C-alpha cells in the first residue's frame, strides 16, 4: 500500500505540474484549453468549468492538455483563440512551459528540503557509526552506534566512503575490523553480506556490506543558502541525466540500466519508507528527468513540437497536416517501443 500511494503521489505531482505549465502558458497567451487531463483516456471523472473540461483518466502514465487548433484541419484552427493563430514564438513558449515547470518544481522541492532539514554534516576525521542494521555482520560482531572504526584488514582508515569502497569489493569475504567502543578497543573478523546490484552497463554484480551507516548531524541553513544548495543540486541532477543519455550513445551505459514505471514504483516505495523528505527528494530527481525527457527532439514530445516549429521557421511555411500526422505517428511509435523496452527491463529485474 505504501508503494502504491507513493507512486500515485510522485507521478500525480509530476504530471500535474507539467501539464499545468502548458495550461497556464496557453491561458496567458489567449489560447483556449479544451481539456486538462491527469492520465490518459478513458475518462474516469470530469467536470467542465468555462471552456475547459478538467478530467482524471484511467491510465496513470501521464497526462495531456488539449488546445483548440492543434491541427490545421480543425474548424476553429483560424480563430483568434486557436493555437494555429498564434505566432511561432508563442507556440514555443506553450510547448516549453511544461518542462520549465518541472525544473521549477525540482528547485522548489529541493529548496524546501534544504531549508527545513538543513545541511548534512559528518565527521571527516574519523568513522563514527550512526546506526547498525539488525541481523547484519556488524550487529553480530557487536558494533554499536557511537563506536569508532580504526582500521580494516590492518589498514588504518578515517573516511567512511573509503571504508565502504573497500567493503563493496569484498562480497561474502572475511574482513578484519578494529574499532573503539567506549574505553575498549576491539578486533574481530566479519564475513560481509553478499548483495546483488547492477553496474553502469546494467550487468548483475555483487557487492559486500557489513550493515552500518555513518553518524551525521544536520546544520540549519538560511532561506537563501537553501536556495543556493537547491540550485546546485538541480544542476547536478541535470548533469547526471545528460551524462547518462550521452553514455547510452557511447555505450558507457547499457540500455539495460534504463528503468520504467515498475522501477519508479519500487524506488518510490523504498524512499517513502525512509521518510517523506526522501520521497520529495526522489520526486525532484524524477522531475528533472521528466523535463529533459520531454525536451528530446522526438515527435509527440514537447521537444518534437519545438523541432517542428524550428523547421517551419527555416522553410518559412507550415508543415502540411499529412506530414505532421505521419511524423507524430512515428514519434508515438518510438515512445511505445521505449515504454515496452523499459517495462521489459523492469520485469527482468524482478525475475532476477
If you ran DSSP here, which 8-state letter would residue 84 be given? G
User: Cβ of 52: how many Cβ atoms within 10 Å?
Assistant: 18
Cα–Cα dist 192/132, whole Å: 14
Q: Verify whether residue 34 is a known catalytic residue.
A: no
Place of cell 521537444: 303
Cα–Cα dist 227/238, whole Å: 16
If you ran DSSP here, which 8-state letter would residue 79 be given? S
Q: What are the helix (H) ranges across 1-136?
A: 2-28, 88-117
Residues 6 or more apart whose Cβ sits within 8 Å of residue 179: 143, 147, 148, 149, 150, 185, 186
User: Cβ of 218: how many Cβ atoms within 10 Å?
Assistant: 11
CA angle, 304 then 310 then 314, to 5° = 145
Nearest to 56, CA basis, from 10, 6, 12, 2: 12
Which phi and psi (to 5°) does residue 148 adopt? Answer: -120, 120
Please list the active-site residues.
19
Amino acid at each position: 500500500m505504501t508503494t502504491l500511494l507513493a507512486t500515485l503521489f510522485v507521478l500525480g505531482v509530476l504530471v500535474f505540474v507539467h501539464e499545468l505549465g502548458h495550461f497556464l502558458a496557453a491561458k496567458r497567451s489567449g489560447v483556449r484549453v479544451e481539456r486538462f487531463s491527469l492520465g490518459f483516456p478513458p475518462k474516469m471523472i470530469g467536470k467542465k468549468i468555462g471552456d475547459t473540461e478538467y478530467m482524471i483518466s484511467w491510465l496513470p502514465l501521464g497526462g495531456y492538455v488539449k488546445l483548440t487548433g492543434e491541427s490545421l484541419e480543425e474548424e476553429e484552427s483560424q480563430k483568434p483563440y486557436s493555437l494555429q493563430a498564434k505566432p511561432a514564438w508563442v507556440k514555443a513558449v506553450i510547448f516549453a512551459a511544461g518542462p520549465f515547470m518541472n525544473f521549477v518544481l525540482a528547485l522548489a522541492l529541493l529548496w524546501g528540503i534544504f531549508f527545513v532539514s538543513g545541511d548534512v554534516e559528518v565527521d571527516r576525521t574519523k568513522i563514527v557509526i550512526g546506526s547498525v542494521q539488525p541481523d547484519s555482520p556488524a550487529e553480530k560482531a557487536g558494533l554499536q552506534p557511537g563506536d569508532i572504526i580504526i582500521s580494516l584488514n590492518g589498514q588504518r582508515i578515517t573516511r567512511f566512503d573509503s571504508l565502504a569502497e573497500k567493503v563493496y569489493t569484498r562480497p561474502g569475504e572475511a574482513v578484519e575490523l578494529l574499532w573503539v567502543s567506549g574505553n575498549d578497543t576491539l578486533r574481530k573478523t566479519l564475513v560481509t553480506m553478499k548483495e546483488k546490484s547492477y553496474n553502469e552497463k546494467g550487468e548483475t554484480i555483487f557487492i559486500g556490506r557489513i550493515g552500518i551507516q555513518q553518524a551525521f548531524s544536520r546544520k540549519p541553513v538560511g532561506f537563501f543558502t537553501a536556495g543556493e544548495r537547491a540550485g546546485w543540486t538541480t544542476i547536478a541532477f541535470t548533469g547526471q541525466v545528460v551524462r547518462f543519455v550521452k553514455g547510452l550513445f557511447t555505450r558507457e551505459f547499457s540500455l539495460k540500466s534504463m528503468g520504467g514505471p515498475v522501477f519508479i514504483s519500487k524506488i518510490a516505495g523504498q524512499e517513502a519508507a525512509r521518510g517523506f523528505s526522501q520521497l520529495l527528494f526522489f520526486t525532484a530527481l524524477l522531475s528533472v528527468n521528466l523535463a529533459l525527457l520531454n525536451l528530446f527532439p522526438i515527435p509527440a514530445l514537447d521537444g518534437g513540437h519545438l523541432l517542428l516549429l524550428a523547421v517551419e521557421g527555416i522553410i518559412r511555411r507550415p508543415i502540411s497536416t499529412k506530414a505532421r500526422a505521419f511524423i507524430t505517428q512515428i514519434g508515438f511509435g518510438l515512445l511505445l517501443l521505449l515504454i515496452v523496452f523499459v517495462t521489459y527491463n523492469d520485469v527482468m529485474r524482478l525475475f532476477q
